Amino acid sequence: MSFYLLALGTFVLDQLSKALIVRHFRPGQSIPILPGFFDLTFVLNPGAAFGFLAGLPEQIRHPLFVTIAVVAAVLIVLYRHRHLRHHALASAALGLILGGAIGNLVDRLRYGMVVDFLDFYLGPYHWPAFNVADSAISIGVSLMLVDLVLEWKRERRDATRKT
């Protein structure tokens, strides 16, 4: 149950934060929060992460990204239920990934693009703007990697004990 609650919470936080940005900002508008480091900047991203494939024609890009998001969401739910029901860390990771994927999917269905607004930079070095869904996906993937390493260590420890 916590898997779904985490996915839902991630989705709701993502959509609420984007609704505030869309309501109070114009595309391209930026407000410095920590000058020289962090701004809130309303960006509509037609591509995937960091604008990946943004140059594809709309009639290809939009159905491609929507299909990928739907397939990913279905596979996440199926994989979690078949293999990770009793793995708390991996389930939490997949809940974050699912919530983020659905959050960005809703943007694509609503706007044809994803709303990004978290804008970090340091001097001339600029990270592409992102959103809560992107953050949740990144954290979820990181937690999955941690879970894999922990599982690998458990398997090694168990194998050592058996010999």
Active centre residues (catalytic): 116, 134
40 and 134 in contact (C-beta within 8 Å)?
Answer: no
Q: How far apart are CA 65 and CA 55, in angstroms?
A: 13
Name the β-bridge partners of 122. Answer: 125
Can you list the positions of beta strands (E) in the chain?
A: 30-34, 38-45, 114-122, 125-126
Residue 160 has, within 13 A of its CA and on its CB side, a CA count of 6
Q: How far apart are CA 134 and CA 16, in angstroms?
A: 14
CA distances from 25 to 35, 102, 120, 130, 136 (A): 18, 23, 17, 15, 23
Sheet of strand 30-34: strand arrangement: 30-34, 38-45, 114-122, 125-126
